[in-house]
Structures are given as structure tokens and as C-alpha cells.
Structure 1
């Protein structure tokens, strides 16, 4: 199933509020418990990451000195 960022946002808001009901546009989904909601969030995240395709490599540079 294809998920959207808005669906992920709705699930994360429900988790933050401690709710078990998530509202997506015109429908409501009630989860049995918070654990089920967390699993749904993880599945949606994984799906969105997979749909985004391969990412380019990110290089992070750190500097520990005072600079010049």
C-alpha cells in the first residue's frame, strides 16, 4: 500500500497525544493499543523511505578546533 507523508504526520500526532484513533482525510482508524500504532508508524516510515529510492551518500565534516 502506498502511504503519504500526511498519513505519517497524523500517526505521529496521535502517538504524541496518546490517542489510539487516527484521522485520515475522510476516515478514522482505531488502533488496539499504542504498540500497534507504533508498528504502523514504522511500517509507514519504511514504505516512504523505500518509495524515495536510493539516496546519495551524505558526507559530514566536523571541525574540533577554534578555526582560523
Structure 2
């Protein structure tokens, strides 16, 4: 089965909110536990990484970053 980025994003949102139901592309899936949901997320993410649709650097939960540099005069 080919997975999509929208499926991965739906799984991420469900994990972040603590919900066990995931909706994407007009479909809904309800997982039995957070462990099952996390396993599904890891499977979809691994598949997307393997097929090149996702790269390690393209997906991060970090926001924009900046560097502050201070000097004492």
C-alpha cells in the first residue's frame, strides 16, 4: 500500500491531541490504543522515507530557529 504525506500528518495530529481516531481523504480509522497509533505512524513514516517521499531533514517538529550572539563591550 502506498502511503501519503496527508496520512502521516493526520497521524501526527492524532498523536499530538491524544485522539485515537484519524481522518484523512474522507476516511476514518480508530486505533485501539496509543501504542497502535504510534506503530501506524512509524510504519507510514518508514514507508515514506523508504520511497523518498519524505526525508529526515524535511520533517521535524522544531520550529524556525535563530541564534543570538551577545558581546560585552
Structure 1 distance, partners of 2:40, 2:10, is 11
Instruction: Give 1 or 2 for the bigger CA radius of gyration.
Output: 1
**Hey, which bits of structure 1, 4+ residues long, moved more than 4 A?**
none
Q: Scaled by the length of structure 2, what TM-score is found?
A: 0.70
Normalising by structure 1, we get a TM-score of: 0.75
Task: Give the secondary structure class of the aligned counterpart of 1:35.
Answer: helix
In structure 1, stretches of 5+ residues that fail to align are 56-68
The alignment of Structure 1 onto Structure 2 pairs a total of residues equal to: 54
Unaligned runs of 5+ in 2: 56-73
Residues 8-54 of structure 1 deviation map (CA, whole Å, 9 limit, x = unaligned): 0000000000000000121100000000000000000110011018x
